[in-house]
Every structure is written in C-alpha cells, then in structure tokens.
Amino acid sequence: MSTTTIVPLRRSSNSLNEYHTNAVAFDGIVGSTSTSQMEEIVTQTDDCYANHNGDGGRSKASFMTWRMCNPVQVARVHWIPCLLAVGVLFFTGVEEYMLQMIPASSEPFDIGFVATRSLYRLLASSPDLNTVLAALNTVFVGMQTTYILWTWLVEGRPRATISACFMFTCRGILGYSTQLPLPQDFLGSGVDFPVGNVSFFLFYSGHVAGSTIASLDMRRMKRLRLALLFDILNVLQSIRLLGTRGQYTIDLAVGVGAGVLFDSLAGKYEEMMSKRRNVGNGFSLISSR
C-alpha cells in the first residue's frame, strides 16, 4: 500500500507536471498518484477558485465570500484579535465620549500611582529604605549594561548592543522634543541611576527598555532562567519607579514596547549587514563564528 504526500499548492504563472489551474501550480507530488487522482485534485482546486472569482476572472471582495459559519470559526480560532477588537470598541466609547479630561490645574492622574500609594508613604517616611532600593536598582541597571556589552565584546553578538543604541538615541530625541515635569511628590535619591539626582527624561523608561532588550536576548540564547530573573527584577523596578513617582505608568509600558521594537529593528539591521558582509572584507561588528 503506497502513501501519497501532496505538497501544498502555490500561486505561480508557470505550470509544473503539465497540471495547472487558475495560475495555481503543484510544487511537487511525492509517491504514486494516478492521473485520475491528479485530475480530481485539479477539479477541486478549480471549484475552490471559482468561489472566489466572479465572471470574467475578477476576484470578489473578501467579505463577499464569507459564510454564516465564518464568524464563529474566526472567534474560536482568532480569539485574541477578537478580544482586542472588543477593547477598541469599548475604550473608544468610554474614553472618547464619557471620560472627563483632567483639568490643567490638577496633577496628572496615573493608575500606577494610585496602586502604589502605600509604597509611596512607606518610602517617604523612610529615606534610608528609599536609598537602599535606589542603590539596588542602580546595580540592576549595571547588570543590564554589563550583559548587553558582554554579548557584543565577548560573544561577538552585537544585536543587543545595537538595540540599546537605537533605543537610547530615540529616547533622547523624544525626551528632548517633549519635556515633561517630574511629579511634585517625586522621591529622589543620590544613588539612583542616573547617579547624583540629575535631571532625566520621563518618556520612556530606559530602565525598563534596557532590561527588556537583555531579557529578549537571553531567551534567544535559551538562557531562560536568567531571562526570568531579569523579568522579575524588571517588574520590581517598575513598582519602585511608580512608588517613588519617578516614572508614569505610560513610561513603563512604552519602555517594554520600545525594547521589543528596537530588538526587532536591530535584528533586521544585523540580517542586512550579514548579507553585505560577503561582498567586502572590511571590519564587521558581527562575529564570523
């Protein structure tokens, strides 16, 4: 008894094995397939494309091919986009038409500040504890920096370093373009990074973005326990930043997104430069290992 494996169809202007239909060709057929079986497959393919093509070979709009069962199937298989679509409708209706804006004379509302009021009161009443937590957070920033540089200088993998350069450059441009004041109840510390109670940009959080970049690289290299440790420390530093009123919630959320975005951009840059590396013999940031 022979088995037949049919390679999926692909769109092509050229036919293979002398069988084609509506610009759809077979990439290949493995095993023993009779001519009648082949013709049956071609006929089924023709019927399928006939449902999508009207008279004259014009393609119908996608929604015109939907059936009653399609919405149920979409909701079952693609429930995450459906949930996001519900979120779009909900927040559009609530935020755009029902939510009252914060008056200009009032302090900005931040749900992270509300959630960390107890921590804020604790740190405000205990400056020594605030200093210790700030010092630990600075150590964590040093860990991020050390790992990111290590991946390039020692392991010969510059992606995380390029990501950090992208991220901090963009952060500097955005931070200078829109300079936001610190919250009035900000709890500063001389040992917090940047050390010395110097000024810094609020949007977006470089602490969080740098940690995200490092964590993504660790996952890429299967250093899952180390990545988990960095994720936990990232959450703890986010809570501390909210508790000291050093960052708004939006700064932290965008910091995570920035880390993911610039890691992806660095990957594309690395891929592009790898293709060019074979053209010349000049110095390359990317290791030949």
Task: Please give, one letter per residue, the 3-state secondary structure of the chain.
Answer: CCCCEECCEEECCCCECCEEECCEEECCEECCCCHHHHHHHHHHHHHHHHHHECHHHCECCHHHHCCCHHHHHHHHHCHHHHHHHHHHHHHHHHHHHCCCCCCCCCCCCCHHHHHCHHHHHHHHHCHHHHHHHHHHHHHHHHHHHHHHHHHHHCCCCCHHHHHHHHHHHHHHHHHHHCCCCCCCCCCCCCCCCCCCCCCCCCCCCHHHHHHHHHHHHHHHCCCHHHHHHHHHHHHHHHHHHHHCCCCCHHHHHHHHHHHHHHHHHHHHHHHHHHHHHCCCCCCCCCCCC
Decide: 148 and 160 in contact? Cβ < 8 Å: yes
Residue 172 lies in a domain: yes
Q: What is the spatial distance between Cα 202 and Cα 244, in angstroms, rounded to a whole number?
A: 13
Residue 226 lies in a domain: yes
> Average of pLDDT values for 31-40?
53
Mean pLDDT of the chain: 79
pTM over the 0.75 mark? no
**Percentage of residues in the chain having pLDDT higher than 90:** 44
pLDDT for 175 beyond 90: no
Query: pLDDT class for 284, splitting at 50, 70, 90?
Result: low
Residue 66 lies in a domain: no
Residue 67 lies in a domain: no
Decide: 289 and 156 in contact? Cβ < 8 Å: yes
Q: Which two structure tokens, joined as six digits, stand for 33? A: 């397939």
Contacts of 265 (CB under 8 A, 6+ apart): 163, 166
pLDDT for 194 beyond 60: yes
Residue 26 lies in a domain: no
Residue 102 lies in a domain: no
Could you give the count of Cα atoms lying within 13 Å of 30 in the half-sphere of its Cβ?
5
Please give the span between the terminal C-alpha atoms of the chain, in angstroms, as a whole number. 47
Total domains, the chain = 1
Query: pLDDT class for 101, splitting at 50, 70, 90?
Result: confident
> Average of pLDDT values for 44-59?
52
Residue type, 249: T
pLDDT for 12 beyond 70: no
pLDDT for 30 beyond 70: no
- The position carrying tokens 């920035």 is 258
Look at residue 183 in the predicted model and tell me its pLDDT. 82
Q: What tens digit of pLDDT does each residue of 126-156 get?
A: 999 999 999 999 999 999 999 999 999 999 9
Label residue 73 exposed, middle or buried (CB < 10 Å: 0-12, 13-18, 19+): exposed
Residue 105 lies in a domain: no
Q: Which domain holds residue 255?
A: 126-278
pLDDT for 196 beyond 70: no
pLDDT for 246 beyond 70: yes
Residue type, 11: R
